Chains A and B, each alone.
Chain A
Amino acid sequence: MIRLQGVSKVYDGSTVAIRDATAGIQKGEFIFLVGPSGSGKSTLIRLLMREEKPTDGEIWVAGRNIAELPDWKVPYLRRSVGTVFQDFKLLPNKTVFQNVAFALEVIGRPRGMVVQQVPKVLKLVGLASKAERLPRQLSGGEQQRVSIARAFVNRPLILLADEPTGNLDPATSVGIMRLLDRINRTGTTVVMATHDHAIVDAMRRRVIQLERGRIVRDEPRGVYEGPSPATAATDLDGPAFVESNGQQGAEPVVEPVEDAVVAPGDADEG
């Protein structure tokens, strides 16, 4: 499904974000990308969605080398790659339904398909009853569910998630992870960049660890393990970083409604 072959990414000719990365990901796998800030996780995600072009190497996604993909074909790549971000990226003046429908409308899907698919996927993410709410009327966890619904409504082959729980408290994060796990079980390949030790340790999926742009560990059913808690604590990965506190698996019956202090934009890792 995805194959990286000697991929490097150098910014401004000197800042090396990814060094000679090589890895293969099968269809239906669930991958955690772990590592401290600046280790290249986000860059890798951006390379996989062709937000960036690699300086060197080949990136094969669904049988195409996207390093060589002409710009005008990028939209078609994006239709088979769903993306979820830490800051949700919802449109504030559109309802939940409209936000999800937007993803289908702008790729020219007929109205009939929109009204059929959107409720289905909203039900999947557990927001069927909140379709007419605006994003600001939702908790952070709910907003992230909307953004997952939007990424998934087009049934992508791959779902890329860059710190999807980065702005959420641990209990809410668990709910999001269960949702991503469900999506993964439909056969969608999930690649998730994260800092969250608890989640990685609880899920025991394949872990690819990055350190200064290098892949230093690629382990099936791995744990977070990487940086010591001390390192993680000095991380400048945005204000909403939630340190692991061993609450994994304790998903509350009712998802707590939080104030969802979202700070989009300033949580961007280099």
Chain B
Amino acid sequence: MRAEYVVGEAATNLRRNVLLVLGAILAVFVSLFMTYMALVVNEVGRNSAARWQEGITIIAWLDDGDLAGHTLITNEVNSWEEVERALYVGKAEAWQEFQAMFADNPALVEEVDPAAMPASVRVELTDNETHTAVVARLGSIGGVDGVVEASDAVEDTLEASRLLNTGGIVLGVALGLSAVVMISNTVRMAIYARREEISIMKLVGASNWFVRTPFLVEGLIEGLVGGALAVLAGWFGYRWFISNLDLGIIDTQVPDSFLLSRGLIVLAFGAVAGAVGSLVGLRRYLQESR
């Protein structure tokens, strides 16, 4: 079977039902665009949360003790088995961090006395289950001024991105099913339009795959075009919109390599939707005949 024959027949099918075909492509596009965006937003959430915390979920502010006392506390916390690592941040580092954080507000930086910056111990847990217990224990140590749980903000961010992600995937799947139905309908219409030809093909002994392949290719093309449009729209939508959003602590940057790899997955989804759709359409037809 020549490739040009198959592609030519598929192209004829596509031309014959332009509106239906556009509908099918649109359905694939919307569904895969949702899915693609959900993947990107999820990555943005995960990324920013990860970068902000770098694993650290608890900060214990220390009173104005000396370095030796601070080191003692840090070492003690480090020895707890719930603690993956305890990082000491001295006054000088805290000052640098403060300056960086409020770089766009020099007046504020001017106001603050570097000496007033508290030192802290930043704690990464081995297991977040022990969170509450560790917070309580840190609070009971002499020399600890107060305990801040960085996790609240992080959890919120993660939660939001999870919701967006789940919602996006659920919607994407639901729309994906409708896309499959749309594709199977266009294939069915194409089969109907060519029923005379098909009956003669079967009469003179064309093999089943010879009859089916052009319709399979038609569905594949619809799925792939819809998928490609979704990836393009998602990519530029991200670059022009999401990556330019200023969400404060949330870092909205994701690397091109991520966009590309997920784009390819989305494209593969499109191909699968196309193949499944046309197989569903063909299945019905094959049951009707013979």
Interface residues of A (CB under 8 A from B): 49, 51, 71-72, 74-79, 82-83, 89, 91, 102-103, 105-108, 150-151, 154
Contact = CB atoms under 8 A, between A and B. Distances in A.
B199 A154 contact: no
Nearest to A154: B204
B interface, size bucket: 10 to 19
Nearest to B204: A103
B92 interface: no
A55 to B, nearest CB: 16
B204 A107 contact: yes
Contact of A78 (B5, B197, B202): B202
B202 to A, nearest CB: 7
A111 to B, nearest CB: 9
The 10 A-B pairs of least Cβ separation, nearest first, read A78-B205, A79-B205, A106-B206, A103-B204, A75-B205, A75-B207, A106-B201, A107-B205, A83-B203, A107-B206
B204 to A, nearest CB: 4
21 contacts: A49-B203, A72-B207, A72-B208, A75-B205, A75-B208, A76-B205, A76-B207, A78-B202, A79-B204, A79-B205, A82-B204, A83-B203, A89-B196, A91-B196, A91-B197, A107-B204, A107-B205, A107-B206, A107-B207, A108-B210, A154-B205
A150 B196 CA distance: 15
A107 B204 CA distance: 8
Contact of B203 (A71, A72, A89, A105): A89
B3 interface: no
B115 interface: no
B200 interface: yes
Contacts of A82: 204
B133 interface: no
Contacts of A154: 204-205
Contacts of A79: 204-205
Interface of B is mostly: helix
B290 A75 contact: no
Nearest to A82: B204
A105 B8 CA distance: 14
B1 interface: yes
A79 B201 CA distance: 11
Interface string B192-221: 000011011111111110110000000000
Given A75-B202, A75-B205, 10 more contacts: A71-B290, A74-B290, A77-B205, A78-B205, A89-B200, A103-B200, A106-B201, A106-B211, A107-B204, A107-B207
Contacts of B210: 106-108
Contacts of A51: 290
Contacts of B5: 105
A89 B200 CA distance: 7
A70 to B, nearest CB: 11
A27 to B, nearest CB: 20
A150 B201 CA distance: 11
Give the interface centre of A51, A106, A150, A151 by most chain B CB atoms within 10 Å.
A106
Nearest to B211: A106
Nearest to B1: A108
Contacts of B202: 75, 78
Give the interface centre of B1, B199, B203, B211 by most chain A CB atoms within 10 Å.
B203
Given A71-B290, A89-B199, A91-B197, A106 B204 contact: yes
Give the interface centre of A49, A75, A77, A82 by most chain B CB atoms within 10 Å.
A75
A114 to B, nearest CB: 12
Nearest to B201: A106
Give the interface centre of B1, B5, B205 by most chain A CB atoms within 10 Å.
B205
Contacts of B290: 51, 71, 74
A106 B201 CA distance: 6
Nearest to B197: A91
A51 B204 CA distance: 12
Nearest to A102: B200
B204 A150 contact: yes
A21 B203 CA distance: 24
Contacts of B211: 106
A259 to B, nearest CB: 22
Contacts of A106: 201, 204-206, 210-211
B288 to A, nearest CB: 13
Nearest to A78: B205
Contacts of B208: 71-72, 75
A103 B202 CA distance: 10
Contacts of A150: 204
